[in-house]
Amino acid sequence: MIKKTFYITTPIYYPSDKLHIGHSYTTVAADAMARFKRQTGYDVHFLTGTDEHGQKIERRAQELGQEPQVFVDGIVSWIKKLWELLDISYDDFIRTTEERHKVAVQKIFQKFYEQGDIYKSKYEGWYCTPCEAFWTERQLEEGNCPDCNRPVELVAEESYFFKMSKYVDRLVDYIEKNPDFIQPASRKNEMINNFIKPGLEDLCVSRTTFRWGIPVPFDPEHVIYVWLDALTNYITALGYASSDEQQLQRYWPADVQLIGKEIVRFHTIYWPIFLMALGLDLPDKVFGHGWLLLDDGKMSKSKGNVVDPEILVERYGSDAIRYFLLREISFGADGHFSEEALVHRLNFDLANDLGNLLNRTMAMLNKYFSGRVPSPGESAPLDDELKEMASTMPAKIEALMDQLQFSSALAELWKFIARANKYIDETAPWALAKNEQQSRLQSVMYNLVESIRIVSVVLLPFMPRTPQRIWSQLGIAEQTNLHTWDSIGTFGGLPADVQTLPGEMLFPRLELSGEGGAPVRQATKKDKLTPKVKDVQKVQSEGLLSIEEFARVDLRVAQIKTAEAIAGADKLLKLMVDVGGQERQVVAGIANHYSPAELVGKHILFVANLKPAKLRGIRSDGMLLAASDDEGNLVLATTEAPIKTGSSVK
């Protein structure tokens, strides 16, 4: 069967500085959508990347006394790490400084020129370097850039121009006939009324007063305007104008292009016109989401820790941050970000609603059934409402996701969580146990565990880590057939007799520390649920592991990519290892036994789900296994024969 394809893109980010949490918003949303489509059976291609040319980057590099390429390389690797921290599952990451892109952009420019869409003239007008945008006198607002409010510069230089006028009628026609093309609808009206109706000017598409860009192939004094260069990434990444256009055939036109509202103009006027000039179809949907704002205004990196995504992830975990971004703000509208609001959401939705459902269910299951899921017994009308909601909820979520309504989709899921919590109160399992209504108690407990499984599956695209933790507790971590969208189609997919294993609280409540108002995680006695299963107690008292406990250790094959000494730490080495395509940094105490050079390339055994720690201030995310004897010898545990990295070890 041929799978339906789904191509989704984010804007490509300027690597002019580290990104803030507002930037992460677009990418987290795109990732949730990509994961959702994969989960529901699509052949997904998810593209993100970096927009590395232009005057803004050149100036920033100059300020720092660096070559632009060296400067962007540093920020780009930081961005890639950030996406890893936030579990962004992109299929391709395009950098506009890559050869595959540069060559294709030159071909595109040449084609435009040859077909008479581009002509040479002189540009005299205003330029906003932070936005890399040209403005006419009339468009300025109090002499400043109407988008970012910053000062503009007067530019007068020879340039190539693109004849927008040639295509504008076709564009208007397309927008009118395809009401879903520009979303939300308010942005469509803004484009037509503010930019198209007053008369669309030809666009200046080359610059001569700086060098950091792709040269015009037939006139190398000119570099190609950074927006023409950048917009085409969505097709150059698919191989447009290369010797292999298979991906282009397969995925173009894009199903959804996600962008922030200030760049809607570039994506719904210039981009479709470029595509028309290339004879390519237009994307199905361009969605301009709102901004994440701080209480005192626009977000910027200079606002410090509170907007630093790395710090926020370290403090709260990536799933919590993802949840907040997707749930708090209605996609399309502006929203506010503050740590107080974040903590509030985490406490109410994650610790209370979701956490309590799991904890209460697990505690009762332990008490009444030694943690083993009973088969359903006697049913009652109360069950029907829960089951009915469980079976209709996934379709509702699918419809909301198709409209990119992430917050409403999560609200729908939380209605079901609330229903399940209410079901506990209504059925009062403790009373059933007391009255020895065993058969009824079996049904109630089964229905609750099955409801939690359904919740975990729906949660996966939004919070990719939490379901794994739930599945470990439910004892179904290895049963991947119970993790699929199809498996929640009918209530009752969970087999009876599964042995559950309570673990750590998913989301302990957070409190404000009072010190500078920064919220911190307060450990409580309840943080750990003590397993009450007799069998578990028995194996623990004998010092043995149950198979379920062992299964919680995620052992993988990894390959050492780089190794380096750590200044001031004789025994430690800093390693980068590849685990199934994911790069992990680990600090290992093996410097007395291996030199960095002999480690590179080795296939080792690696604990992939160890809580990250800091050693000498350096983050270590995982652990490699080594054998040591009492004479101080140490050897790494390696695989007996080559096998793919990421392979699981059991």
From CA 286, how far away is CA 283, in angstroms rounded?
Answer: 7
Q: How far is the CB of 179 from ligand MSP (least distance, A)?
A: 22
| Beta bridge mates, 47 | 9, 92
Q: Does 14 bind ligand MSP (CB under 6 A)?
A: yes
Q: Please return the burial class of 296, using the count of CB atoms within 10 Å of its CB with bins 0-12, 13-18 and 19+.
A: exposed
Cis peptide before 309 (omega within 30 of 0): no
| Contact call for residues 487 and 457 (beta carbons, < 8 A) | yes
Q: Does 231 bind ligand MSP (CB under 6 A)?
A: yes
User: Of 292 and 326, which has the nearer Cβ to ligand MSP?
Assistant: 292
Q: Does 292 bind ligand MSP (CB under 6 A)?
A: yes
Site string for ligand MSP, 315-334 (x = CB under 6 A): --------------------
Q: Does 11 bind ligand MSP (CB under 6 A)?
A: yes
| Contact call for residues 276 and 282 (beta carbons, < 8 A) | yes
Q: How far is the CB of 227 from ligand MSP (least distance, A)?
A: 7
Token readout for 532 is 């009450």
Among residues 6, 7, 8, 12, which is the contact residue for ligand MSP, using CB under 6 A? Answer: 12
Query: Residue 292: what are its φ and ψ, rounded to 5°?
Result: -90, 120
User: Of 83 and 471, which has the nearer Cβ to ligand MSP?
Assistant: 83
Closest residue (Cβ) to ligand MSP?
A: 260
From CA 224, how far away is CA 104, in angstroms rounded?
Answer: 12
Q: Does 51 bind ligand MSP (CB under 6 A)?
A: yes
Among residues 78, 210, 291, 414, which is the contact residue for ligand MSP, using CB under 6 A? Answer: 291
Among residues 230, 254, 498, 572, which is the contact residue for ligand MSP, using CB under 6 A? Answer: 230
Q: How far is the CB of 71 from ligand MSP (least distance, A)?
A: 15
Q: How far is the CB of 54 from ligand MSP (least distance, A)?
A: 8
Q: Nearest to residue 433, comparing CAs of 338, 364, 497?
A: 364
From CA 80, how far away is CA 485, in angstroms rounded?
Answer: 29
- Collapsing DSSP states into helix, strand and coil, what is residue 405? coil
Within 331-390, which residues bind ligand MSP (CB under 6 A)?
Answer: none
Q: How far is the CB of 318 from ligand MSP (least distance, A)?
A: 18
User: Of 194 and 435, which has the nearer Cβ to ligand MSP?
Assistant: 194
Among residues 184, 260, 371, 502, which is the contact residue for ligand MSP, using CB under 6 A? Answer: 260
Q: Tell me which stretch binds ligand MSP (CB under 6 A): 31-39, 258-266, 320-328, 640-648.
A: 258-266
Q: How far is the CB of 86 from ligand MSP (least distance, A)?
A: 14
| Beta bridge mates, 648 | 556
From CA 510, how far away is CA 350, in angstroms rounded?
Answer: 11
Q: Please give the helix or strand (H or E) that residue 204 lies within, else none.
A: strand 203-204
User: Of 337 and 369, which has the nearer Cβ to ligand MSP?
Assistant: 337
From CA 607, how far away is CA 554, in angstroms rounded?
Answer: 6
Query: Residue 523: what are its φ and ψ, rounded to 5°?
Result: -70, 135
Q: Does 25 bind ligand MSP (CB under 6 A)?
A: yes
Q: How far is the CB of 234 from ligand MSP (least distance, A)?
A: 7
Among residues 7, 13, 161, 240, which is the contact residue for ligand MSP, using CB under 6 A? Answer: 13
User: Of 233 and 318, which has the nearer Cβ to ligand MSP?
Assistant: 233
Q: How far is the CB of 123 from ligand MSP (least distance, A)?
A: 21
Q: How far is the CB of 27 from ligand MSP (least distance, A)?
A: 8
Q: Nearest to residue 45, comparing CAs of 281, 246, 323, 278?
A: 246
From CA 324, how far away is CA 295, in angstroms rounded?
Answer: 16
User: Of 25 and 160, which has the nearer Cβ to ligand MSP?
Assistant: 25
Q: Does 229 bind ligand MSP (CB under 6 A)?
A: no
Contacts of 104 (CB under 8 A, 6+ apart): 232, 235, 236, 240, 241, 242
- Tell me the number of residues near ligand MSP by CB under 6 A: 19
Contacts of 13 (CB under 8 A, 6+ apart): 19, 23, 48, 49, 50, 51, 79
Among residues 6, 22, 254, 265, which is the contact residue for ligand MSP, using CB under 6 A? Answer: 22
| Contact call for residues 563 and 599 (beta carbons, < 8 A) | yes
Q: How far is the CB of 397 from ligand MSP (least distance, A)?
A: 24
User: Of 22 and 371, which has the nearer Cβ to ligand MSP?
Assistant: 22
Site string for ligand MSP, 180-219 (x = CB under 6 A): ----------------------------------------
Mind spelling out the 3-state secondary structure of 241-294?
CCCCCHHHHHHCCCCEEEEEHHHHHHHHHHHHHHHHHHCCCCCCCEEEECCEEE
From CA 429, how far away is CA 449, in angstroms rounded?
Answer: 13
Token readout for 626 is 């080594």
Query: Residue 286, by phi and psi: left (phi above 0), alpha (psi -120 to 50) or beta?
Result: beta
Residues lying near ligand MSP in the complex (CB under 6 A): 11-14, 22-23, 25-26, 51, 230-231, 233, 259-260, 262-263, 291-292, 299
